[in-house]
Structure 1
């Protein structure tokens, strides 16, 4: 399992979340909503390091992480993060 983040999405995180080089963004399951990973859940995010990072990638000085306790949610699939209509979007396949 890997995290794939487009360059445009990284720029969005910098702009919208006021990130600085060295920051981390942690992704986790959130009850309610819809997504391509688990029915009845959506993806939440928070600035800060995962307690026990299981999956991580670094882009433009920012680390994107998933904690080991949240890996179940992604069901072994890669997390793709991109932009669609100017907003961040999450998927289990490439975002075009």
Structure 2
């Protein structure tokens, strides 16, 4: 399982959340979100556990708990600075 987060999205999270190297961000599925499927992505500062799936981007650890892994398989996150929005693609919902 892998997910991709663009440098623009990482910089946005770094600025908005005050992240520094060594910080950890948990990605998780939320129900009743704004998408057509009813699912959306949650993001929170947290610490990974041994069984979590971890990816390191420029010193920031992004991780997913095992029960949420299905949602982020092949997910991509990008940031459009002109529209000031995060662009998220979730192939797992297709």
- Place the TM-score, normalised by the shorter chain, in its bin: 0.7 to 0.9
After TM superposition, what 4+ stretches of structure 1 lie above 4 angstroms from structure 2?
A: none
**Could you tell me the TM-score, scaled by structure 1's length?**
0.78
- Name the one with the larger strand percent: 1
For residues 1-48 of structure 1, the C-alpha deviation after alignment (integer angstroms, 9 at most, x for no partner) is 212111111110110011111001111111112448xx2111101011
Matched, 1:83 2:72: no
- SS in structure 1 of the partner of residue 27 of structure 2: strand
Q: Structure 2: 5+ residue runs without aligned partners?
A: none
Cα shift at 1:89: 2.6
2:15 paired residue number: 15
Task: With the length of structure 2 as denominator, give the TM-score of the two structures.
Answer: 0.79
Equivalenced residue count is 88
Residue aligned with 2:71, SS: helix
Q: State how far apart, in whole Å, the 1-side matches of 2:63 and 2:38 are.
A: 22
> Is there any run of 5+ residues in structure 1 with no aligned partner, and where?
none
What is the RMSD of the two structures over their aligned residues, measured on CA atoms? 1.9
Pairing partner for 1:40 from 38, 45, 50: 38
In 2, Cα distance between equivalents of 1:88 and 1:4: 13
